[in-house]
Amino acid sequence: MTVPVLLVREDREYLVEPGEEFGTDLGVLEVPEDVEPGATLETHLGTAFRVRRLRGPDLFHHFERTGAPMVPRDIGLVIGETGVSVGDRVLDAGTGTGVLAALLARAGARVVTYERDPEFAEVARENMVLGGVEEQVDVRAGDVTADLESLREEFFDVLTLDTGDAPDVVTAAPDLLVDGGFLAVYSPFVESTRDVVAAAREAGLSSVRTRETIQREMDFDERGSRPSTAPVGHTGYLTIARNE
């Protein structure tokens, strides 16, 4: 199986397959079958491109998009707050583009992820191949709420949810998670976040906390340093709770 690589030059970045003939306005470039990250390749006009393997944030930019993917910084919060690491089993819904599922797998977890749209699920499977995590991520086409009974027998270390019906799954969290396991729910609106918090409390989960995920970019120029006046860096609300 060939693993695509990135060709990088200044602000240009192209995703290419080993063995591909690739044309740009800077010339035609033959990508060798055995191309290795770290190499430099030249077009027939002598323009050099560096070869890079895709790292986590590159998946956000190069995965084919379906459902709106979580941004890498929020995924960092999920990993930091839940401690996802090597050997963990994660249940994730919905898959969407699959950026969260792929980065959890790259952190060392085995991920079962549900996507109710079969076409989105198929795209996500291809994205897992691009991310090099197709062995670690089991993309299941279907509605996660329909499988809650059978999932109770699997037991997960972490449950990650990014769906409108997350509260229905949160209700079942105590039966899905191991003792001490974590729930992480990403919600775009305050209203849906309230429902998630209510469901987590009702289910008897502990340490239920919600944080707005927001970051201010800094500008540094000759006049001074201050937060950027570009739009506020709000992305959503992250609710964390623990099964204990």
Q: Does 30 bind ligand SAM (CB under 6 A)?
A: no
**Binding to ligand SAM by residue 117, rule CB under 6 A?**
yes
Which residues 156-195 are close enough to bind ligand SAM by CB under 6 A? 162-163, 165
Q: Does 120 bind ligand SAM (CB under 6 A)?
A: yes
127 is a site residue for ligand SAM (CB under 6 A)? no
Please pick, from the candidates 16, 99, 109, 170, the single residue that binds ligand SAM as defined by CB under 6 A: 99
Tokens of 68: 């709106």
Interface with ligand SAM, residue 131, by CB under 6 A: no
Q: Is 143 in the site for ligand SAM (CB under 6 A)?
A: yes
Decide: is 28 part of the binding site for ligand SAM (CB under 6 A): no
- 114 near ligand SAM, rule: CB under 6 A: yes
Residue closer to ligand SAM, measured from CB, 43 or 95: 95
Q: Is 144 in the site for ligand SAM (CB under 6 A)?
A: yes
Q: Residue 221 is encoded by which pair of tokens? A: 């120029």
* Alpha helices for 88-202 (secondary structure H): 99-106, 118-130, 148-151, 166-170, 173-176, 190-202
The residue from 24, 47, 145, 171 that contacts ligand SAM (CB under 6 A) is 145
Sign of CA dihedral 144, 148, 149, 151: positive
Q: Give how many residues touch ligand SAM by CB under 6 A.
A: 23
Among 70, 79, 199, 208, binds ligand SAM (CB under 6 A): 70
The one segment of 36-44, 95-103, 151-159, 196-204 that binds ligand SAM by CB under 6 A: 95-103
Is 5 a residue that touches ligand SAM (CB under 6 A)? no
- Which amino acid would we find at residue 155? F
- The alpha carbon of 24 is separated from its chain's Cα centroid by a whole number of angstroms, namely 30
Residue 138 binds ligand SAM, judged by CB under 6 A: no
Side-chain-side CA neighbours of residue 192 (13 Å): 18
Peptide bond into 94 cis (omega under 30): yes
* CA angle (71, 202, 189) in 5-degree steps: 30
Under rule CB under 6 A, residue 239 binds ligand SAM: no
CB of 143 to ligand SAM, least distance (A): 4
> C-alpha angle with apex 220: 218 to 223, nearest 5 degrees?
130
* Distance of closest approach, residue 88 Cβ to ligand SAM, in angstroms: 17
The 3-state DSSP composition of the chain as helix, strand, coil percent (nearest 5) reads: 30, 35, 35
Catalog residues that contact ligand SAM under the rule CB under 6 A: 66-70, 93-94, 96-100, 114-117, 120, 143-145, 162-163, 165
